[in-house]
Amino acid sequence: MINEYENTLRRLIINILGGEDKDVAKYKVTDNRINQWIEKRNIEQKKNNGILFENRIIFYSDFYDLQTIIDKNWESFLPVLNDKKRWLVFFQEVEKYRNTIAHGRQLVKSQEDLLSGIVMDLKNNITIFHNKNNMKEDFFIEIIRVSDNLGNSWSRSVFNRSKTPVLREGDEYEINIEANDPKDREIEYWIFSLGLSLNIVQKSSKFNFTLDSKLVGRNTVLGIQARTPEADYKNEDTLNFRICVLPKEVV
């Protein structure tokens, strides 16, 4: 739940201030902090043999950095978080529980319940803000980001779309999907190709499959869909991207 709280704040910061490297000046943190985030990102890339699964710099920030960013940009976050003192009390409570876990101690049930309430309170504030502005994000699921095991990623933003990756028939390919449903309904994921030579439906957001001969092509289109089957209305989002699949090498 603590990771959920942290990453909800990070996504909120991205929504309010932006998430690209060019947006970091809006965070109003020191150059030293930004350089430390970049260093952590570089280390992560080296650990994964040059592959970077998460490029957004805010995801390499520390927990206390999130408080700094929100505090220094409070006027921008006020419409969402409403009461600064109340938000800070909740943030500090999560920080205390985070330190407890970091030192190898477990939370008691009353602490877990309070932590769950704080996470839901943050999400509710975001939902209420969207409702006031009649935002579709409060009703419909959204695919936020799709990434693969080669370090490529795709999203709605034209600034976050990788070049067409080149693979070969027989390669193992892994796709990770980041999606959000504002009502917290169970999400079902579907990956498919034109003609449905690839057609996998599952509850997990991580797909792993072998590229067969039917997927060979210069511009093979893969489709990703996230949906909530239990919704009372049609609730789905789809994102397409292209890969290049070379035929198997003849030895």
DSSP-derived pairing of the beta strands 153-154 and 142-148: antiparallel
Angle at 9 between CA 7 and CA 13, to 5 degrees: 115
Task: Tell me the residue type at 37.
Answer: W
Residue with tokens 């932590």: 115
Tokens encoding 189: 């994921």
* 102 in the same domain as 40: yes
Domain boundary among 108, 138, 168: 138
- Say if CB 158 and CB 188 are below 8 A apart: no
For residues 233 and 228, give the distance between their C-alpha atoms in angstroms, rounded to a whole number: 9
Task: Give the pLDDT of the chain (251 residues) as one tens digit per residue.
Answer: 888 899 899 989 998 998 888 899 999 999 999 999 999 999 988 887 777 778 889 999 999 999 999 999 999 999 999 999 999 999 999 999 999 998 889 889 899 999 999 998 998 888 778 767 656 666 889 898 899 998 888 887 654 566 899 999 999 999 999 898 888 889 999 999 987 789 999 999 999 999 999 999 999 999 999 999 999 999 999 999 999 999 987 65
* 117 in the same domain as 208: no
Residue 38: count of CB within 10 angstroms of its CB: 14
Among 142, 146, 172, 150, smallest CA distance to 161 is for: 146
Asked whether residue 251 is domain-assigned, the answer is: no
Asked whether residue 162 is domain-assigned, the answer is: yes
- Say if CB 171 and CB 163 are below 8 A apart: no
Residue with tokens 């990070």: 10
* 15 in the same domain as 98: yes
Which residues touch 220 (CB under 8 Å, ≥6 apart)? Answer: 193, 242, 243, 244, 245
* 151 in the same domain as 108: no
pLDDT of residue 31: 94
Asked whether residue 81 is domain-assigned, the answer is: yes
* 108 in the same domain as 180: no
* 149 in the same domain as 124: no
For residues 60 and 159, give the distance between their C-alpha atoms in angstroms, rounded to a whole number: 19
Asked whether residue 20 is domain-assigned, the answer is: yes
Question: What's the total number of domains in the chain?
Answer: 2
* 62 in the same domain as 129: yes
Asked whether residue 104 is domain-assigned, the answer is: yes
Domain boundary among 138, 165, 199: 138
pLDDT of residue 159: 46
pTM of the model: 0.63
* 131 phi-psi bin (left φ>0, alpha ψ -120 to 50, beta other): alpha
What residues does 188 pair with on adjacent strands? 227
* 223 in the same domain as 156: yes
* 241 in the same domain as 162: yes
* 126 in the same domain as 8: yes
**CATH code of the domain containing 186:** 2.60.40.10
What residues does 146 pair with on adjacent strands? 154, 177
* 211 in the same domain as 230: yes
For residues 65 and 10, give the distance between their C-alpha atoms in angstroms, rounded to a whole number: 10
Asked whether residue 234 is domain-assigned, the answer is: yes
Domain boundary among 76, 104, 138: 138
Asked whether residue 112 is domain-assigned, the answer is: yes
* 189 in the same domain as 73: no
Look up the domain containing 53 and give its range: 2-138
- Say if CB 179 and CB 142 are below 8 A apart: yes
For residues 58 and 18, give the distance between their C-alpha atoms in angstroms, rounded to a whole number: 10
Residue 74 CA: distances (Å) to CA of 28, 53, 71, 198: 11, 30, 5, 47
